């Protein structure tokens, strides 16, 4: 059993933690209500999903060409594009930029891709401080944890948990309200923004035809991360690219409606390179790191490449009955929930993460809520097939499945054994599924045998 499989089995016990369940249920129910209101704003909701799916599907189909167009246009605006094959390349680029500029303090706006490359841990190794500036990210950083959810990093914490955490770490009131905590964090972060050497953001969208980076957020920390420091580094997955700026307003609204239920997020920016001679603020240097890290492998797969359409709204996590029970940390991966279970094996290997495709009841709820219509539950089944047929699956398991496939192709083969033997075998076969899974009981004689006996 791999390390992350062991973690999954160990940590899924959190499903029986009543407090964790109550916090999660409360936060997801608030999200459900907001998104239900957001959906009502659409006069043609399903058509909007069709449109988003079509546009992102076209972008994925033209990915290499659009990325080159993006590179050409943003380079002409003075930014530098760096192509990273994997996390090691990306962190090396950042380390070099920091060294060349003697940079020690980094401010970061929310970016799951920086988690993917382990940026905070690397920054500490280089002797630099990386400060999270999104409130949820700041909370989990203070708690010494990782983001729990791709959109709502501190979803597992109640307001009382946060008040007690800040009381312990900063001496604020143990009964501090969310407003008081927000004011405290804002004041603390202002000092960081004005002294930071480098600002690091992700990218919600890379806009090919104008060479711009689309950022959407609610707290204004993204804009401050971009505006104050002299250097801005964008880290973006290859799949973030869209063809035209004409589609950007639609995607900003579509993401907000499915991510938080808003008509549109509060701050929406299109960043067009570093500061020009005519501008008074903005970074003097801008770098865009385009990260592959397994995305090309995903792109090469005819069906699984649909996962590259994801706009990271988090809707599939909130809808997933497994996520709702085991929570974000059990996956032991940066991207969790249904989309995480689809893409993580491609990014980090099937050997270590292929088991995630079994963390699914195949209810199809994730595919129903996805704003870009990714057939997530079908892709999870494909991943299961890949995991089972992959070389690393044990010989015994593969042989058992082959035998089962052979026997179940013909009724007469299945009837070779009577009910007593079938029940014995089912008990042995059911063991790897865990003690909470019960195999059905076989009757002493199969239906077809009983039928034959009756006719005879
Ligand atoms: S797969 Fe779909 S629902 Fe899940 S995060 Fe991506 S866009 Fe949202």
Same domain, 281 and 195: yes
Which residue minimizes the CA distance to atom 7 of ligand 1? Answer: 310
- Would you say the CB of residue 380 lies under 6 angstroms from ligand 1? no
Same domain, 124 and 237: yes
**pLDDT at residue 432 in the model:** 60
Same domain, 25 and 138: no
Which residue minimizes the CA distance to atom 3 of ligand 1? Answer: 370
Same domain, 401 and 382: no
Q: Which atom of ligand 1 is nearest to the CA of 366?
A: 3
Residue with the two structure tokens 């899924």: 12
Same domain, 138 and 176: yes
Gap between the Cα atoms of 333 and 344, Å rounded: 7
Question: Could you read off the pLDDT tens digit of each residue along the chain, which spans 456 residues?
Answer: 788 888 888 888 898 999 999 999 999 999 999 999 988 889 999 999 999 999 999 999 999 999 999 999 999 999 999 999 999 999 999 999 999 999 999 999 999 999 999 999 999 999 999 999 999 999 999 999 999 999 999 999 999 999 999 999 999 999 999 999 999 999 999 999 999 999 999 999 999 999 999 999 999 999 999 999 999 999 999 999 999 999 999 999 999 999 999 999 999 999 999 999 999 889 999 999 999 999 999 999 999 999 999 999 999 999 999 999 999 999 999 999 999 999 999 999 998 999 999 999 999 999 999 999 999 999 999 999 998 877 666 777 778 888 888 988 988 888 888 888 888 888 777 666 666 677 788 898 888 888 888 877
Between the two ends of the chain, the Cα-to-Cα distance in Å is 51
**pLDDT at residue 416 in the model:** 86
- Would you say the CB of residue 259 lies under 6 angstroms from ligand 1? no
434: in domain: yes
Residue 133, classified by CB atoms within 10 Å of its CB into exposed (0-12), middle (13-18) or buried (19+), is buried
Gap between the Cα atoms of 302 and 325, Å rounded: 32
* Domain of residue 445, residue span: 395-455
Reported pTM: 0.88
- Would you say the CB of residue 151 lies under 6 angstroms from ligand 1? no
What is the number of structural domains in the chain?
3
Same domain, 409 and 283: no
**pLDDT at residue 148 in the model:** 96
Same domain, 283 and 342: no
**pLDDT at residue 434 in the model:** 65
Which residue minimizes the CA distance to atom 4 of ligand 1? Answer: 316
If one residue of 49, 304, 314 were mutated to test the ligand 1 pocket, choosing by the most ligand atoms within 8 A of its CB, it would be 314
If one residue of 49, 371, 375, 377 were mutated to test the ligand 1 pocket, choosing by the most ligand atoms within 8 A of its CB, it would be 371
305: in domain: no
If one residue of 339, 365, 383 were mutated to test the ligand 1 pocket, choosing by the most ligand atoms within 8 A of its CB, it would be 339
Whether residue 357 contacts residue 380, with contact meaning beta carbons closer than 8 Å, is answered with yes
Provide the sign of the torsion angle of the four alpha carbons 253, 259, 261, 262, taken in this order: negative
């Amino acid at each position: 059993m791999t390390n992350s499989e062991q973690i999954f089995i160990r940590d899924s016990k959190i499903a029986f933690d009543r407090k964790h369940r109550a916090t999660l249920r409360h936060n997801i129910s608030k999200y459900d209500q907001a998104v239900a209101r957001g959906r009502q704003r659409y006069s043609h909701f399903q058509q909007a999903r069709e449109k988003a799916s079509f546009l992102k599907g076209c972008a994925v189909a033209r990915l290499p060409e659009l990325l080159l167009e993006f590179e050409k246009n943003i380079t002409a605006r003075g930014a530098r594009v760096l192509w990273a094959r994997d996390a090691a390349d990306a962190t090396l680029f950042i380390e070099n930029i920091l060294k060349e500029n003697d940079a020690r303090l980094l401010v970061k706006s929310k970016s799951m891709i920086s988690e993917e490359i382990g940026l905070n841990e690397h920054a500490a190794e280089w002797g630099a401080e990386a400060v999270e500036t999104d409130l949820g990210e700041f909370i989990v950083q203070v708690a010494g944890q990782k983001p729990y959810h791709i959109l709502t990093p501190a979803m597992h914490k109640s307001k009382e948990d946060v008040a007690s955490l800040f009381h312990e770490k900063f001496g604020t009131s143990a009964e501090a309200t969310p407003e008081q905590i927000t004011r405290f964090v804002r004041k603390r972060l202002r000092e960081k923004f004005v002294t930071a050497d480098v600002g690091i953001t992700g990218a919600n969208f890379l806009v090919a035809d104008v060479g711009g980076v689309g950022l959407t957020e609610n707290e204004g920390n993204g804009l401050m991360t971009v505006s104050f420091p002299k250097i801005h580094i964008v880290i973006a997955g290859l799949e973030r690219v869209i063809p035209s700026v004409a589609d950007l307003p639609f995607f900003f609204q579509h993401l907000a409606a499915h991510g938080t239920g808003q008509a549109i997020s509060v701050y929406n920016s299109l960043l067009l390179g570093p500061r020009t001679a005519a501008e008074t603020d903005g970074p003097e240097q801008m770098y865009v790191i385009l990260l592959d890290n397994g995305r090309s492998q995903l792109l090469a797969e005819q069906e699984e490449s649909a996962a590259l359409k994801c706009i990271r709204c988090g809707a599939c996590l909130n809808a997933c009955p497994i996520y709702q029970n085991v929570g974000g940390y059990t996956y032991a991966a940066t991207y969790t929930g249904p989309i995480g279970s689809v893409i993580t094996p491609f990014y980090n290997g099937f050997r270590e993460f292929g088991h995630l495709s079994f963390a699914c009841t195949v209810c199809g709820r994730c595919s129903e809520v996805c704003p870009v219509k990714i057939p997530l539950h079908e892709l999870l089944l494909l991943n299961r097939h890949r995991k089972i047929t992959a070389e690393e699956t044990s010989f015994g398991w593969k042989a058992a499945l082959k035998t089962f496939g052979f026997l179940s192709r013909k009724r007469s083969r299945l009837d070779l054994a009577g009910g007593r033997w079938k029940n014995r075998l089912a008990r042995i076969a059911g063991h790897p599924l865990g003690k909470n899974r019960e195999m059905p009981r076989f009757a002493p004689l199969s239906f077809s045998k009983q039928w034959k006996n009756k006719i005879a």
